[in-house]
């Protein structure tokens, strides 16, 4: 009988400790795995840009993502981002586009990538324009476990005209 009493207390305390630990326990982020997911995302994005497919480009962003393009106000939300790219790509065709990630780091449910881009665009009846610059993208883990771009900002590295 004595044995049974102690077991009960023991099991109770054991469960209590486990439960107390659980809410603050976090999975360590597997950055290798995230890097791979984001590399695939970058390929999808690049294709969307080259195809001028605003809907496919917008799909890489979270629902409430923030786009911060140069010479523009902040664009808030996936729907507005899609409209922004649609307008841009009606006016120009991107003939070449490349992203090179130079640093990736994250913790918890956010990861940032910073790197460089090169782009070549063709505006109707004009000479092609080339630009190169840098970007910083913060991705966020969404409810379904996938990673989506949550904040996206870039600027040119070419000297001001």
For position 14 contacting its own copies by CB under 8 A, the verdict is yes
Q: Does 129 participate in binding its own copies (rule CB under 8 A)?
A: no
Q: Is residue 44 close enough to count as binding its own copies by CB under 8 A?
A: no
CA distances from 153 to 26, 73, 112 (A): 29, 12, 11
Q: What is the 3-state secondary structure (H, E, C) of 46-106?
A: HHHHHHCCHHHHHCCEEEEEEEECCCCCCEECHHHHHHHHHHHHHHEEEEEEEEEEEEEEE
Q: How far is the CB of 49 from its own copies (least distance, A)?
A: 18
Mark 73-92 with x for binding to its own copies (rule: CB under 8 A) and - for no binding.
xx------------------
Q: What character string, x for contact with its own copies (CB under 8 A) and - otherwise, covers 96-115?
A: ------xx-xxxxxx-x-x-
Asked if residue 151 binds its own copies (CB under 8 A), the reply is yes
Determine if 134 is a binding residue for its own copies (CB under 8 A): yes
């Amino acid at each position: 009988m004595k044995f049974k009493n102690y077991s009960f207390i023991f099991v109770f305390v054991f469960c209590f400790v486990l439960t107390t630990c659980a809410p603050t326990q976090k999975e360590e982020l597997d950055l290798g795995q995230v890097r791979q997911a984001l590399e695939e995302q970058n390929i999808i994005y690049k294709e969307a840009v080259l195809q001028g497919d605003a809907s496919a480009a917008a799909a890489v962003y979270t629902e409430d993502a923030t786009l911060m393009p140069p010479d523009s106000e902040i664009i808030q939300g996936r729907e507005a981002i899609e409209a922004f790219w649609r307008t841009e790509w009606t006016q120009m065709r991107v003939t070449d586009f490349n992203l090179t990630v130079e640093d990736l780091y994250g913790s918890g449910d956010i990861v940032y990538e910073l790197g460089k881009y090169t782009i070549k665009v063709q505006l109707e009846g004009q000479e092609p324009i080339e630009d190169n610059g840098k970007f910083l993208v913060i991705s966020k883990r969404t409810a379904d476990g996938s990673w989506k771009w949550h904040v996206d900002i870039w600027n040119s590295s070419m000297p001001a005209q």
